[in-house]
Structure 1
Amino acid sequence: MIRARQWNLWWLVAALALLPSGCGFHLQTGASIPPKLTGLRVTGTGPAGGALAQAVDRALQRDGNHAQQGGPLLQIDNAYVSQRIISISPSSGVALEFLDTLHAEISVIGSDHKILLASQPLLMENSFSYNSGNPLATNEQQITSQRLLMEQGARQILRRVLNSPGFRRQAP
């Protein structure tokens, strides 16, 4: 009975923690993307490229951007997530904390096939702790951590693209 209550409490806390992240990324002041990027398409390569491209595409769609066949292309290349142990229990030798790192290269190519944003590296990190009291929760923690990492990566990519000198809106 106590175990079930703890499990339910854990799920409640996890759901409450994810609730604010559900609002997603919105561009500053709800501004639309610059005219040069209207119809922006997103592609990704690598083991995490598809998930990261989908996260970016969802953020763009929330702002009203709908990918167009002839539109500019945001390329996310060689995307992958690496994981390493950053903390081990001295008494049991069990890993207690992990660090997930998202690696990728991003670039933007215009509809005229000219480079609008030269390739640049993306590196995002997110740590999560292992619950030694519930070993089965580790997989769920890892999945949640990587989902959050993709959302953070998508926000970072959009910040970089929209704030790059070639796309930044000029003040009136």
Structure 2
Amino acid sequence: MSRTLQWRRWWLVAGLALLLGGCGFHLQTGATIPPRLTGLRVVGSGPAGGSLAEAVHRELQRDGNRAQSDGPLLQIDNAYVSQRIISISPSSGVAQEFLDTLHAQFSVIGNDHKILLESQPLLVENSFSYNSASPLATNEQQITMQRLLMEQGARQILRRVLNSPGFRQQVP
């Protein structure tokens, strides 16, 4: 490839980035926190409350939100994960596929202790298969699946909060 062609491609990509950045284009993680939610803090209760709250906090940090002690509060209550066997090997009788379900309630409370978003249920499901040929991989696989479940739950919570009528930003 010639040097001139490389420079043209570089300038094309740079120009495209400038154009997209100038028109307000954001990647999926850039969900822009509305002013009313700036400084949003996150707390969680229940067996999975801490993990889910951490996942939400990470998503908020990626978007530039820094929790403040006097900011509004995203409260996650009664978070837990249930697991159900959904298929069993007919030959060995060993469970082959599982369904993990994340259950929780979440609400947003203002710094003046007024409810900004009523309590809403959260239900996220994820299935995964067990490979009986590699039983040691199950713990690692389960940890990975739990992390993915928390990330999906965090994104769903933030999507629902940011798209609720009280917080939705007006597009100019």
TM over 0.5: yes
Q: Cα–Cα, structure 1 residues 29 and 54, in superposed 2: closer, same or farther, change >3 Å?
A: closer
Q: Cα–Cα, structure 1 residues 69 and 119, in superposed 2: closer, same or farther, change >3 Å?
A: same
Describe how 1:3-18 pairs up with structure 2 within 5 A.
none
Q: Cα–Cα, structure 1 residues 53 and 31, in superposed 2: closer, same or farther, change >3 Å?
A: closer
Percent identity between matched residues is 85
> Is 1:60–2:46 an aligned residue pair?
no
Q: Please give the per-residue CA displacement for 1:57-110, whole angstroms capped at 9, x wherever unaligned.
A: 011011110000010000000000000100000011000000000000000001
Looking at structure 2, the residues matched to 121 and 27 of structure 1 have their Cα atoms a distance apart, in angstroms, of: 27
Describe how 1:93-172 pairs up with structure 2 within 5 A.
93-172=93-172
Task: Figure out how many residues of one structure are paired with residues of the other and give that number.
Answer: 147
CA shift for structure 1 position 30: 2.7
SS state of the match for residue 154, structure 2?
A: helix
Looking at structure 2, the residues matched to 72 and 112 of structure 1 have their Cα atoms a distance apart, in angstroms, of: 8
Segments of 5+ residues of structure 1 without an aligned counterpart are 1-25
CA shift for structure 1 position 32: 2.3
- Could you list the runs of 4 or more consecutive aligned residues of structure 1 that deviate by over 4 angstroms after TM superposition? 26-29
> Is 1:88–2:88 an aligned residue pair?
yes
The TM-score with structure 1 as length reference comes to 0.83
Q: Please give the per-residue CA displacement for 1:91-140, whole angstroms capped at 9, x wherever unaligned.
A: 11000000000000000001111100000100000011001101111111
AA of the residue aligned to 1:115: I
SS state of the match for residue 30, structure 1?
A: coil
Native 8 Å contact 2:80 2:104 kept in 1 = yes
Looking at structure 2, the residues matched to 27 and 75 of structure 1 have their Cα atoms a distance apart, in angstroms, of: 26
The TM-score with structure 2 as length reference comes to 0.83
> Is 1:32–2:32 an aligned residue pair?
yes
**Which stretch of structure 1 is more off in the superposition, 136-145 or 92-101?**
136-145
SS state of the match for residue 87, structure 1?
A: strand
Larger Rg, first or second structure (1 or 2): 2
Native 8 Å contact 1:77 1:104 kept in 2 = yes
Q: Cα–Cα, structure 1 residues 31 and 152, in superposed 2: closer, same or farther, change >3 Å?
A: closer
Segments of 5+ residues of structure 2 without an aligned counterpart are 1-25
Residue 10 of structure 1 is matched in structure 2 by none
CA shift for structure 1 position 151: 0.4
CA shift for structure 1 position 31: 4.7
Looking at structure 2, the residues matched to 122 and 92 of structure 1 have their Cα atoms a distance apart, in angstroms, of: 35
Looking at structure 2, the residues matched to 68 and 51 of structure 1 have their Cα atoms a distance apart, in angstroms, of: 20
